[in-house]
Amino acid sequence: MTDALPPLLLQFAATVLLSFVLGLELHSYRRSQDEGIGFGTTRTLTLIGAIGFVLWLLDGVQANVGAPQVFLPPANGGMAAAVASDLLGTRGLYLAGLAVLAVWLAVDLWPRVARSTRAASQPADNGGALLPSLIALVAYALGPLVLTQPDWFVAAVMVVTILMLGEKPLIRRLSDAFPSAEGVTLAKFLIIAGLVLPLMPASPLPGLPTLSYQKVWLAVVAISGLSYLGYVAHRYIWPKAGTLVTGIIGGLYSSTAVTIVLGRESRTDAGIAAQAPAAIVVAIMMMYVRLLVLITLLGHLDAARALLLPFGTIVLGSGVVAFVLWRIGSRTAAQSASAVQLGPHNPLALPIALLFAALFIAFAAITQFITTHYGAGALKLLSLLVGFTDINPFILSLVATHGVVSPSLMVSAILVASVTNNLVNAGYALVLARQRAMVPVAGWFALCLVAALFWTGWL
């Protein structure tokens, strides 16, 4: 039945429906803010979306009438003027409609901004006054988007617009808590991801034929970005998260940092001490999820599939252990109401990114040298020793330099290195907390290490 419908009718229906949804969301936003209906009702936005669709379509029909026209830029300059002339010739109706809409919005906006500015008891909120006008412009652009862009892009525009309307309290809270220093750090990340990464050559590093400059920097961008998401979530979205939530979110960017902080806080806060063992297990469990996501994002799907079984087994087992420890902790003492502060550690700082890149290359070179001159036995020993350091550069360099070691040896080395690191973190918690409640955590990851050594055949 749907296949028999004309595609143009489906596109028009989609434009009208999306404009209608925008109108509903704007209406709901105004009601939640105790505002009057004003400009931009559901009907108005629906008609604006339909008009934008029709005008864009009529321009396209006019452009196709007669012989096809080929635009050739003038040889003596004037490129901008020629492009503007061509655009006005092919999209004159749509641009005229946009100009009329802009004048209409300006006439409607000016009195509301003036009244808000003159009100002595209420400060001006020009951003809120602008919101209906911005939504109207989005509705007007929906027609061309539906007609010319893929469905996923139209959906992305709608999701962003609706989130901006529906999540005002969260956005306001994040804006108030976001310091200027974080904006500078984020700008640096955009530089290394959007500017430096495309400039990195695809040629291999000297002495490392399977590893290119581009691969190294892509790993830096991936792990920095994913770690920063967890950092921002805990520091600005859930700054007062409980102990268990701290383990879940903090484990996304640094399970070691979570372990050290919770171990230290357990000595002075009975509520944190009761839930810290479960939270540490959860943080370490999230490390495996983060590693799988990173390996997948970097395009090493074969390695991710090979690691899915051992990593998944550890995650499920850790989930059961964390649940048992959480139930025991809930009976021991009440959950602390105080926030767990993970400190100012910022995983997007440039020195940290450069250090990761250096360690990435160093571990790739060491792995190649050891496997070439000393064989698999030396790599097994290296995997155990790496557990006492940052395992991310070692693991990502190992999967990036595919072909240096066999797939089975690579999976075994990654598994042993990660479980060794877990046991080291549990040792940190045991030493810092100085409490018997941390003994089951160390015991569980000691058991995981023994099981991993047996599973890999290293024992």
Would you give the DSSP letter of residue 457?
T
Domain ranges of the chain: 2-166, 179-455
- Looking at residue 102, its pLDDT comes to 87
Dmax (CA) of the chain: 85
> What is d(CA 380, CA 413) in angstroms, rounded to the nearest whole number?
6
- CA-closest candidate to residue 93, choices 61, 117, 70: 61
Grouping H, G, I as helix, E, B as strand and the rest as coil, residue 399 is: helix
Q: Count CA atoms closer than 13 A to 165's CA, side-chain side.
A: 25
Contacts of 432 (CB under 8 A, 6+ apart): 260, 263, 264, 266, 267
Residue tagged 């030493």 (tokens):
431
How confident is the model over 345-401, as pLDDT tens digits?
555 666 777 788 888 888 888 888 888 888 777 888 888 888 888 788 888 888 887
Task: Flag residues of the chain having pLDDT under 70.
Answer: 1-4, 33-40, 61-89, 111-129, 167-182, 185, 234, 236-242, 331-350, 402-403
The pLDDT score that the predictor gives to residue 25 is 83
Q: Alpha-carbon distance 93 to 401, whole Å? A: 56
pLDDT at position 116: 56
Confidence at residue 346, expressed as pLDDT on a 0 to 100 scale: 58
pLDDT of 348: 60
Of the candidates 386, 393, 407, the residue with the CA atom closest to the CA atom of residue 303: 407
pLDDT digits (tens, 9 = 90+) for 34-61: 655 556 678 888 999 999 999 998 887 6
